Amino acid sequence: MAVKSNHVTIKGIKDGLVFLLDDECEFEELLGELRYKLEHTHQNILTGPIIHVDVKLGSRRISEDQKQSMLDILKQKGNLLIRSVEMPEGENEPGKEPAYAVMSGMVRSGQVLHHHGDLLFLGDVNPGGSILCTGDIYILGALRGMAHAGVEGNEEAIIAASYFAPTQLRIAERISRPPDEWNIRETSMEFAFLRDGAMQIDKISNIVRIRRDFNVFKGV
C-alpha cells in the first residue's frame, strides 16, 4: 500500500535524529506514515547502534494517550532512544516534574544518553558509555560505564543497577571512583546515593527506608 511521505520528515543532526511531524494532517494518518517509514523506507538508518531522537510536533496539541501511541511506534525500534518531545508552549502544567521514561538498548563505548527526568533503562551500559539524567537512574542490566544522576544539582537522586561495576558514579556534583573502593558486595541489585555529601551503596530493598530517612531529615 502506498503511503504519502510528506507528513513525517526525518533529519540527521550531529548527535541523533529529529522527527518533524506535520501539525495539520489527521493524527491517525500521521501515525500510519510514521509506522510505514520505520518499517520500510528508512530501515537503513533505524538499525544498528543507539540513536537519540528528538520529536517536534509543531503547533499540534496531543493527549497523553496520543503521545503514548506515537512513542509506542518509535520504541518498536530498540535502537531509538526518545530524548525529547517538543510540545506547544503551555502544554505542560506549570511546575510539573517531567515523567519518568522507559528506554531499552545498549549504551556502547563513546555513546552518551541524556534524559530530563527519571529514567528506567533496560539494557547494559558498556565501559566508555555514559548515562546522564536530571533525576534518578534505574538500570535493569549491567552498569560498566559512567552514570550521572541529578545533573542539575539534585543531591537526592539515585543510581540503581542490576549489576554494579561502574567506571564512575556522579550524583549532582559528587563523584566516586573507582568501584573497588566500595569493597566486594553481593551480586544483587544495588543503588548509589548521597549521605552527608559522601557516596554510599546499598541494596535496592533498602531504598524505601533510606528515602524515608531523607524526608525525616528535611522535616517532611
pLDDT digits (tens, 9 = 90+) for 134-154: 899 999 999 999 999 999 899
CB environment 81-103: b (16+ within 10 A), e (fewer): bbbebebeeeeeeeeeeeeebeb
pTM: 0.57
Q: Which residue has the cell 539534585?
A: 154
- The kind and range of the H/E element at 169 are strand 168-171
Per CATH, the number for 97-220 is 2.160.20.70
CATH 3.40.50 for the 1-96 domain, yes or no: no
Residue by residue, DSSP assigns 52-108 as EEEEE-TT----HHHHHHHHHHHHTSTTEEEEEEEPPTT-SPTTPPPPPEEEEEEE-
pLDDT of residue 216: 42
Mean pLDDT in order along the chain per 10 residues (220 residues): 67 85 89 86 69 85 85 78 72 48 86 87 93 93 94 91 91 78 61 86 82 52
* Structural domain spans, the chain: 1-96, 97-220
* Mode of pairing for the β-strands spanning 190-195 and 174-176: unpaired
pLDDT of residue 16: 82
